Structures are given as structure tokens and as C-alpha cells.
Structure 1
């Protein structure tokens, strides 16, 4: 039976919704008030409209947010909300997505209904959407609930029946028919981001008993002035280097190029050419000149995120004690808050607790609301190709931004077609400029997705620049007698050496060998099995030792190869793709103070190699062009020939994902687009020091409490205390009690943590050696 607006529900719940009041969320533990549904719908619509206005879809974004929770107007949902309150929180357990989906289909078009239907569980495929829409239509399974909810909500929010209907951005009709579905796919992703971020922000504000937290737009011109002033001060304090003149010339060319119109730019500079400062200078100026809102810098390795964020914080953040918000946001948290199921190894009780926390924890997802964001390419592109709300809430903040892809050669070949397609869509329709930064620029313009896109270069003559900055000579160790132990013995005979291994296990083993063989100086280790704070401390210590000309041995995974500003006279690098060999060489004689540094490339018998057809293809192509009696890794002509051969050796570059995007099959796109092929890495919270315990435990407690949803700042605070483990090791740790689940795929480590190697893959765990 459909009730009238003046008697919304019968029985006990009539009191709860007295005077026609409907609620969207239960009581806030802070304010003691429930969240009125009208307030939530209008508040979300206002925010989403503001977000969508940046790319010409403000009206459409606002309408989809206005209707996203209309289904909560049914008596069943309102009654279940009260029951959930009695239980102390958790899921309401009544459908509410169908009413808004029906309205979206009625007043826009079916595809936009996916934004509404997916705002909790994720964007659906079109078959699923059609099936669910039938349930909302007359005679359908949810038809009575839908009609009841719509009649109730339209009494206070009549705008759910818009006149005129919200418009669709005109550019979509101008896209060639063959590519229009790809344009629609990207538009839906951006609209979905607007709606879920608005929903999350408005909901979090309710539970925190505070106003919505939204930053005012930054004055990019002021940031340019601050950047220039502080950069000049930093350079004045540095010891002069023979390559300073070349670096200054690169910086000046980057600043001059910033006046060019938005589009796709290339910064092709050798390692040691001060790309970090030049990229920042270009991006900030370009944003200021063209009224763009933010800079998003994406890098392949967490170590670069940490170092670059530190550099940019020094150059851009306000003075301590000023009371102003930080400019630079560092985001590399790998926590999957949208995980549909917990990791294996949990007890039934732990699984139940995980499920109760899951929904509230999603409000902690990062949304990149900052003028200068430093993140990883994994976070950037897995967000763009996800179908889940927590990962996608940040996407709308890419519109009207400068995206800097540092060390762009590290993008996975098997996903290049969809990556380049989406980047071009952002440039063409969402006011984005893309800057590709690398010493080993891939041949992207030879691939179909970027044919016809103007390529704007920042450095006119890269070959001359490479010749000016050539500072090393290469040696090769490829015989059958080459082992990890023999390389350690050779390296131990030198005072200052960096050795880069192919895997975390080889890195730990080399560290053991060197520690046993080195008679003088410190032997340090770097890998993602160490927490972010631990890695930063080690890198800072390495810089101190090098600056004092003291002996030091460093053994690292490839995380040190790009963006980490270290200068060794001698570097050893396990055999790898050509670009990795050249990147390792960038840590040798970086400042040009020696006549020549030495880079030793070695193939150890029995050494490990990363898995995957992509890596094998890159190594095979490298074998064709680089090595003894062949080219050196910094030969630009050889690199130009290398990339097409490398691409041809692979079964494809992700064309099948483009087909899925054309079908608007968002879940399958998400499953197919995996930057890390096998879901390898799991984030692990570690307490290394007693001084950190209270802060970490407080943050974890916030994440564990489903009655007090928190914002992104909690996960930000834990980034520095997080290491990584392979998934199978994480699940084994959960089964054995060495770790406990927190939220998503985030776990809390209760086992041993090695003072040098972190979560050491070869250490036998001893339950008696727990550190927390």
C-alpha cells in the first residue's frame, strides 16, 4: 500500500518520521542528531555540481547527486535504519538504489543511471543496469518501494523531477561515432567521481558533527612565486656542481614552454638533469597561466613519491606555525577500501568484524583535494579504471589539472592502449595537460591512440643534452662464474657502492653477503618491505655518509633507481630492461665531480627475476640491442629501436580493455586493468618504535570503529608506518596470528621487524620476537 505524504509510515516508525521527516543516516556520535534526507540530497547535489562544473557537466552531476539516495524515502528503509541504530551501526540492509536509477533513466538516459545505482557497490555493467531497472518499473520486484520513496521525497525535494532536463556536455556529440562510447565511458567515470565524493564528504561531515571540509582554490600565481624564491635559496646553499649550467638551461626551457596551450608535453632529459625541479616549474607556471586548479605528479615507485613530496613540500608548503593548510599532499597508501572480501586467513569472527567496518571505512579514501598532489602511477591509473567508489572519488579533481607522469617509461606495456586513450580523453575534453618526464622516453606517438595528437617538446635537442651529461662508463659481468656472492665480494672492495638487485629476496641476500664481507663503513638496505619512515631514514643516512665522504654500501631494489637524488662513484645493477639499467646509472657520478663513474651490469647465476611476460619481453628486447659488443643503455638511437621491438614481443597492449570500455562494462574493465598483475602487494602497518605506538594505535582505532567514520587524514597519518608484503605472505601471517585485519586489505603486523631489512623474507619468524 502506498502511504500519503502526511502519513509516511505506520506503526512504531510513524514517530521516527513525524512531520514527514526522513533520514539519510543514523545519529552522529558527536552531535547526537540524525542526518535529514533532504539535507543530504541537497548538500550532495551542491557539492557534485561544483565538482562537475569544472568540465562542463555541473548541472548533470548535481542532478545525479540529488537523486542518488531518493530510495531511502521508503518506509522499509527508514524502519531498517532504526533497527541498525539499535544494533550499534552497520548496514541497513534494505534496497535504496532503484528509485534514483529510475529517475536517472527517465530524465537523462539509461547509462547515467549507472552513476546512481553504483554509488555504494560500484559502477555496474549495462546488462546488470537494465535488469535492475526492470525491478524498479511498474510490476517489478521493487516497484512499490520505488513509488513510495519517490512520492515521499518529492514533497520536500520537488527538483527530483527537473524541468528542463539536465543537459549532457555538447562535446560528447562531437566525438567521432567510433570513439563516442569511449568518451561516454570517461564522462561516466568523472560524473561518478563527483557524486561519490560529494556523498562521502557530506556523510563524513554529518558523523563528525562539522561542516563539509572543502579547500578554497589555490592561487597558483602565489605558489609560482614561492617556488621560485625557495628554489633560488636551495641552489644558493648547494655545493656548486660541474653540471649546474646544464640543469639551469633545462629549467629555463621548461619555464618558457609553460606558456604553450594545454596539451601533451615531453620533457626528455638525462638522469641528473634536475627533472624534478624543471617539471615542477613547468607545471606550476602552466597551471597559473591557464587557470588550472592543481598539479598531480605521479611516479612509479613509492620511494620517489616520498622523496619528491619532500622536495616539493620544502618549496611550496607554508611556513610552520602560519596556520595555513599544507600545499603538497602525498598519497601512496595502497589500502584497498573497496575490497569485496577480506584477505584469506581470517577467523569467522574477524570476517564479521571486517564486514561491519567496511562501509564506514570507505569515507577515509583520499580525494586529492590539494593544490599539489604527489602520488603513484598505480594509484592514478587504477583509480581511473576502477569501478569502485573509494578509488574513484578523486577522479573529478583531475579535471582542469596538470598531470605530470614522472619516469613514464615504467608504465606497463600491456596496459598502454587504455592508458594512452584515457590520457588523450582527459586532454581533449577535461582541460588537462599531460607532461611526460623521462630519460628514456618511450615511443608513444608511434602507437595508434596518440597518432594525430600534437607532441610538444620542452628540450629542443635531447641528444646534445645527453652528450653533455654523459658521466659514466659501463662494464659487464655476464660469465658463468658470476653469482650474488661474487658480486658482493667485488663490491666490498670499494668504499662507496650502490648495488641494485632484481628482487626483494636477492636484495636481502646481497645485503647479508655484503654485511659479512665489508670491513669498513655501514651496509644499508632499501626495499618496500621497510616502512616509508624507515626508507626515508636510510636515504637520509646515505646522503649524510656520501656528503662526508665516508664509506658506505647500499643494497636496494629498483625503488632507488628513479627520482632518488644520490651520487655514488660506483654502481652495480643486476641485468634488467635497458631503461632500468640507465636509471641505475643515474645514481652514479650524478653531479659530474669525477671524470667518469663506473656502472657494472651483472647477470648472476641463480638470481631471481620479476615474473610476467611483459618483463621477459623487455629483457629480450634489451638483449637484442644492449650489452657487450652492443650499445650502452644510454644510446638514444638504440632506445628508439628498442621500444617497438619490445612492444611487438608481447601479445597485446591492452586493446581488449578498450573493447570493454566501449561496452561500458565497468566491472570487467576493473578486473582486466591491473597495474600490479596478481594483486601482489598488501599494505602492512608496523610499529617500529615505542614513540610511534600511541599515534598509530589511535589511528587504527579510528579505522576499527564503524560508529565513527573518519576522513582521509587517518590513512595519510599511517602511510609512513606502512610496508608491503606479497599477498600469500600476508594471508599466511593472518592465519598464524602474526597480523590482524584492519580495513580493506590493510593489516596490522604483530611479528618481527628487522632493524635493517624490515619484513625480511628469509628470516624465520619467532612468535617470541614480536615487536608490538
Structure 2
């Protein structure tokens, strides 16, 4: 009888180990084929459970099934060392980088990738080869070769994997050599040429290092998805045939529906120059869809139809180049919900569009008396799988989810990484990349475009000039022709700096707003922190005056925005005082905008909420310097403010600078170059307490760490340490449930201990009624008796009392709360 891989709990059916290894290998090969590395991913899958051939594991799995009430401790038998150790013992000397990559993937497939060296100068990777408990590796290998394949067959398979690996790194080496040959040919002195040739040799050797680090993560992703897919199919008795998703016919249908909708939109739109320019830009995107795989910018001005233009490009580009999915990366959940709904409506689909973010509500479990049909169960199973691995034609997710997929180290995130290959990834409002993640983000773009056959589209009216930083990107082109002329035609606002030496106080702003209301019906005021927003609201409070900030829960903010839209439509007086959450992705238009001095990109986004639909020829956006704002804890806003000040001084001295328009692309590029220069020390994700960055320990040789360890390894990445330090948003906030609207009933249900039939759905609902606060704010709430703490054993829940939450401005805590609840 073959050795056992799994035993199904339902009926005791055995999955033989050779079957599991070969089926997992086939799935992994199909995944790897997209990247031209089927034998590399297949090798990891073929050897990943080699250790299950030990007597100890076979006894362990039988005992776990036969004694379900008292099973042996999970993971007590090591089965994930044997495959990696086999490669290291027999092949490391011949093909170091490949073997280290695949061995680490096998070692970590039930957890995470290991450090090649850690902060203590030790190598968990090296230590893994000598387990604490003795393992009879000779017996394991003998059984593997008798049941799975012969040594000769495996030898030939590894040789093919090595050929794929060498082909994978060749372009990186060639590009480095070509660049350095230009310099070498310019040297005349023999001594200089000899010295430079030595430098070239080292540079060519090092060139593929960042790509191999991410290749290791990609192989890890392929193995995890293949292993879990095969195990789940066996457990659920599903016979899914693994094949490339049949997206071609779907994309044909989607493009036809989109073209029909665009004709409809065009016919209903006013026959003016703006309508013609929108159509022209959309046509540009369709025409450019034949461009090869690469990194492109889409710099459509605010209100230019960016979402549908990018979708038009993506659908046609997918058909032209056989791309398997379209993935939208959006900074805020509010924009995701808005854009995903628009795409669903236009394409007339639901099941082929996935939203993956913290605020999405999953459908509740139906009543037990009304069982689901087979088709409905199958639909839900496939949707659940898609949430695990993004295997669905169109995905909407956040920047946090995207970066976590590469760097969090959590297998549930990294499992979906391989589905970013052979895809189109569209970044909406790309300037919102967190400053500490800029270099890490750029590295993902370079890897996807160069090695994974993925096209990147960077969408924003305020392009962040990512090509100008040290670890930058190479942009292959802009999709919009004659962009300066189009930007000029779309200009609907005039920036009016009103900078005072002593600054603007709250009372000054109140008076300015009251004076402006004599000539306009509605005004949007965006300030930099909650404290001053609340103070101005208190000064102006009355009918038609609204407050918006992150002190409000998601449901509350949605309700306020609904009221504002209704009043604007009815042409009633509206004054909205908000933090920067109103800047991006909120499709709303005011006659006047007042913006507290900040980064130029923030100012441009704020201007996008003024005269948004070109109601009149030109409206004013007033720029003020608030005297009472504290930016002590908002360093990026403070630095952005400094850089904007420099540009304002330039324009004050010469009003023709930057083409005479501070919001033009020329000014924005200069602003971002200044901004990144000011914050150069933060771009590589510096690690607290040590003099290294996350970029250092993942993508460079890292001699600081390796001088303490003399292991003969090529791969230098500290995978686990990097993952332990990585947070897109610093987790220094605490979630507090608030008694707003339906939140009161949900909190009552939680505290009553009633049976909750669908806990996942219930918790997702609660997220709509929560606010994230800093620790000092939480302490203040506790000290003032405004919060109750309930210990549920596995977690503590913080619940604000009724007196702590105000229907006008949310949680009554002074200070600046993080935007984490918007970004997850």
C-alpha cells in the first residue's frame, strides 16, 4: 500500500502520498508556466511532502484519524525538511541560487520563508538542515524513489528547472552588462579598465538578486496554492480540472458591453469640448492597448473618465496579449466600493468581479430550513477560493492588500501572489503609496513587468515621479497623447494662495467662509487634523454645516455624504469641513474649496472636488496656512507642506515658472522630486532600532549581517525578519466599537451573548461601526469613563458609551486618528 498523504475525516478515505505529490506538481507546473518556470514550481511541489515518507509521519497521521478526541500535537512530526535537505545535500554545490530558493520554499510551506541570516548573525535556513529530532533521510529517499519517480527522472527534471532559472536571470545580467559596457568603452587607461572590469563582474553577479528574492516568494505562492487546492479538492471531493481560466470569451463580452455603454454615455453627455476630450482620451486608451507588456502612466485629469478609460485599455490589452485577469489597486475602501459597483453595472456581471478589502460584507448564511442548491453552493465555493487566491477575472482590492501579498510573510496573503502574473494591474491614485514603502513598491512593479508578463498602469492626475528615486521604475510611456493641452482644457479651478505671515486662525477662516457665502452656495474646507476641523465646525455650526473626519465610523461618514449630495442637488447651502479623507475618490462637486497648506498632490486632489463637472468656466481654490494646526505626528504632511512652500516662493518670484500653473504636470514632477529628496531616508522602509532598512535585508547582499555568519549561501534575504517588521499602516491604533445607528443593535447583540449564526458576516457588519484611535486617545477615553472593555477570552473588545459618540463629529476624543480603517 502507498504511503498516506491525507485521510478524509468524513469517510476515512485515504489520499496516497504519490497521488498528492504528482497532482500538486501538475497544479504548480500550470502556475509556473505563466512565468516560464514550470519545472521550478513543479520541483517545489514534487518534493514538498517528501518527509511524509517517514515512519514517524505515517504513524502520526493514522493516530490523528483514529483518535480525534486526543490527537497527537499538530506539527509534532517534521515532514517539511526532507525535500529541501535532499536538494541541499545533492545539488547545492552545482546550482546554489536555484536550490536555496526551492529548498526555502519547501522548508516554509507550512509557515513562512526562513531567514538566510537573522539579526543575531545566525542562519535559520542552515539550521533547518539538521533537525533537533533525528530523521532517517535514507529511508525517506528510498520510499520516494520507489513510489514517485526514479533518481534519473528527478535528475533530468532538476536539470530542466536549472535551465529555466538561468533563462530567468539572463535579462537582468544582460541589462547590467550593456549599461556598464558603455562606461567601459569610454575608459582609456588600462588600469581603469581592469578595475572597472572587476566591478562589472561583481555587478553582473549581483544584478538578479532582487528578482531572485521575489522569485522565491513567487515559487512559495505557487506551492502554497497548489498544495492547498489539491488538499481541499480531496477533502471536499471536488474534481476541479486545472486549466487556464477561460477569460478570453468573457473579456470579449465585457468589451462589447462597455463599448455599448460608452456610446450611450456619449449620446447623453452635453455636446461640448470636455465631452469630446473625454472621448478622445478614452479612444487613446483603446488605441494604445496593442502596446507590449510594460509599465505605463495614465494621467487623465480629474473628471476625465479615468475608471472607464482604464477598463477599456485593460480589456483590449488582455485580449491582445492573453492576460488572465485585471486587478485594480485602490487606496481607499470608499473608492473601491464606488468603482466596483460602476464596473459591475456597466459590464452587467457580479460573480466575475471580486472586492477584497476589510469593509466588504459577505452574504449571510441562509436559513437552515432553506438549503442552498448545488449551483449556489458551487458558486459560493468558487467565490471563497477566489478570495483566497484572486483567481477571478476582475479584482478590486487595496494598496494594503497588494503590498501585504508581497511582504507580510503570511501564507494566506502570499498564496495569491502568483495570480499577479500574466495580468494587468491598475493602480488608481498611485501617489498614495506610503512613503516608507516607495522602494519596496517600485521593486514589485519592476519584477511584475520584467519577469511576470504583467502590464502595470499607474493612474492619477498627480503622477508621483517614481522613476526619480534611487530604487526607481522605468516607465514605458503615457497612454494619453498631447497631455499638456488636454490638462489645460480640463482646467476648471484657479489656485489662489492666501498665505499670511502670522497664519490663519480659526476665527479668521470662519469670517472668510461667511463672507464667501454671499457669492457661493457651497464650500468645502479641508484641514490637516481632526482637532482644527472640529474647532471650525463649532465656530460655524448650524443648518447646512457638516463635519467629516476619521473620528466617525464608516457608516456615519456614508450617511453624511448622502445628505451633502442631496442638499447640493437641491441647490441648498452646504459647508463641509473635513480632514483629508474627502480628497480622493469622492465624486462630489463644490463651488469653492479652501485647503490648508499640505503636499501639492493633496492640494491638487482637493481642487478636484471644486467645479468638478465644469459647471462654470473657472472656480477658486484658496490655499491657507493654518496657524493652529499641529503636524507633530503627521511628518509626511509637514514635509509636503515645506516642499509646496518652496514652489509657492518660486511662483511668487516668477509667475511663469512651471508653465504658470502650480497644478500642472511640470510642477507636480518637481514637487515629488523635492518631496522624495527630503524624505530619502524613509523610502526604503527603515527598521526601528537597527541601521538597516527592509530593502537592505531583502534585496542587497547585506554584509553587515553576513560578517557574523560564514555560510556558503548565495541568497542573502532575511525573509522572516522582514515580514515581522512589515506593516503598510503602523498598527499603533485600537479599534473601538461605537453606538451609531445599527451599530447600537449589533453591540447589544454581541453583549447579550445571543447565538450568532454567521460570525464572519456579523464582524464585517461591526467594522462599519468602528473607529480607530491612538493609544493616548484610548487612555483618555478610559480615564474619562467613556469606554467599556469586555474580555471575550480570545480578544478584548472596546465599546464607546453613548456619551462618547456625537452625531455631529463622531467619537469625542481630541487628537489625530490614523486612516487605517479607510486603507485596509
Is the pair's TM-score, using the shorter chain for normalization, greater than 0.5?
yes
After TM superposition, list the pairs within 5 Å mapping 1:725-744 onto structure 2. 725-726=772-773, 728=775, 738=789
Q: Given the alignment, which residue of 635, 647, 650 partners 2:676?
A: 647
How far is 1:621 from its partner? 1.2
Q: Does 1:22 align with 2:4?
A: yes
Write the deviation string for residues 399-435 of structure 1: whole angstroms up to 9, x where unpaired.
Answer: 1111112222222344333322331221111101111
Q: Given the alignment, which residue of 338, 341, 352 partners 1:327?
A: 352
**SS of 1:599 mapped into structure 2:** strand
Q: Does 1:464 align with 2:485?
A: yes
Separation of aligned partners in 1, 2:762 and 2:246:
24
1:659 corresponds in structure 2 to 696
After TM superposition, list the pairs within 5 Å mapping 1:447-526 onto structure 2. 447-450=469-472, 453=474, 455-479=476-500, 480=502, 482-484=504-506, 486-488=508-510, 490-491=512-513, 494=517, 495-514=521-540, 517-518=541-542, 520-521=543-544, 523=546, 525=548
1:597 corresponds in structure 2 to 619
How far is 1:748 from its partner? 6.0
What is the alpha-carbon root mean square deviation over aligned residues?
Answer: 4.2
Separation of aligned partners in 1, 2:133 and 2:271:
73
Q: Does 1:173 align with 2:220?
A: no
Q: Is the 8 A contact 1:306 1:536 kept in 2?
A: no
Q: Given the alignment, which residue of 65, 83, 86 partners 1:100?
A: 83
Separation of aligned partners in 2, 1:699 and 1:227:
47
Q: Is the 8 A contact 1:752 1:759 kept in 2?
A: no
Q: Does 1:60 align with 2:40?
A: yes
After TM superposition, list the pairs within 5 Å mapping 1:251-650 onto structure 2. 251-318=282-349, 326-333=351-358, 366-450=388-472, 453=474, 455-479=476-500, 480=502, 482-484=504-506, 486-488=508-510, 490-491=512-513, 494=517, 495-514=521-540, 517-518=541-542, 520-521=543-544, 523=546, 525=548, 527=550, 529-531=552-554, 534-609=556-631, 611=633, 613-626=635-648, 629=652, 633-650=662-679
Q: Does 1:191 align with 2:219?
A: yes
**SS of 1:258 mapped into structure 2:** helix
1:228 corresponds in structure 2 to 259
Q: Is the 8 A contact 2:735 2:773 kept in 1?
A: no
TM-score normalised over the length of structure 2? 0.74
- Larger mean CA deviation between 538-547 and 145-154 belongs to 145-154
How far is 1:36 from its partner? 5.7
Pair 1:183–1:597, CA change in 2 (3 A): same
Separation of aligned partners in 2, 1:650 and 1:700:
51
1:86 corresponds in structure 2 to 69
Separation of aligned partners in 2, 1:700 and 1:37:
41
Separation of aligned partners in 1, 2:74 and 2:331:
37
How far is 1:763 from its partner? 8.6
Give the structure with higher Rg (CA).
Answer: 2
How far is 1:266 from its partner? 1.5
Q: Is the 8 A contact 1:331 1:375 kept in 2?
A: yes
2:274 corresponds in structure 1 to 243
Q: Does 1:127 align with 2:117?
A: yes
1:351 corresponds in structure 2 to none
**SS of 2:154 mapped into structure 1:** coil
Separation of aligned partners in 2, 1:739 and 1:165:
57
**SS of 2:207 mapped into structure 1:** helix
Q: Is the 8 A contact 1:530 1:723 kept in 2?
A: yes
**SS of 2:298 mapped into structure 1:** strand
Pair 1:164–1:730, CA change in 2 (3 A): farther
**SS of 1:231 mapped into structure 2:** helix
Q: Is the 8 A contact 1:54 1:399 kept in 2?
A: yes
TM-score normalised over the length of structure 1? 0.78
- Larger mean CA deviation between 591-600 and 67-76 belongs to 67-76
- Larger mean CA deviation between 489-498 and 751-760 belongs to 751-760
**SS of 2:77 mapped into structure 1:** coil
Pair 1:104–1:548, CA change in 2 (3 A): farther
How far is 1:657 from its partner? 4.0
Q: Does 1:110 align with 2:100?
A: yes
How far is 1:625 from its partner? 0.6
How far is 1:665 from its partner? 1.9
How far is 1:264 from its partner? 1.6
How far is 1:199 from its partner? 2.9
**SS of 1:314 mapped into structure 2:** helix
How far is 1:505 from its partner? 4.8
Pair 1:430–1:135, CA change in 2 (3 A): closer
| Count of aligned positions | 694
Q: Does 1:679 align with 2:707?
A: no
How far is 1:383 from its partner? 2.0
1:157 corresponds in structure 2 to 148
Separation of aligned partners in 2, 1:93 and 1:586:
58
Pair 1:229–1:181, CA change in 2 (3 A): same
The runs of 5 or more residues in structure 2 that have no matched partner are: 92-97, 174-203, 361-383, 656-660, 686-692, 701-715, 816-824
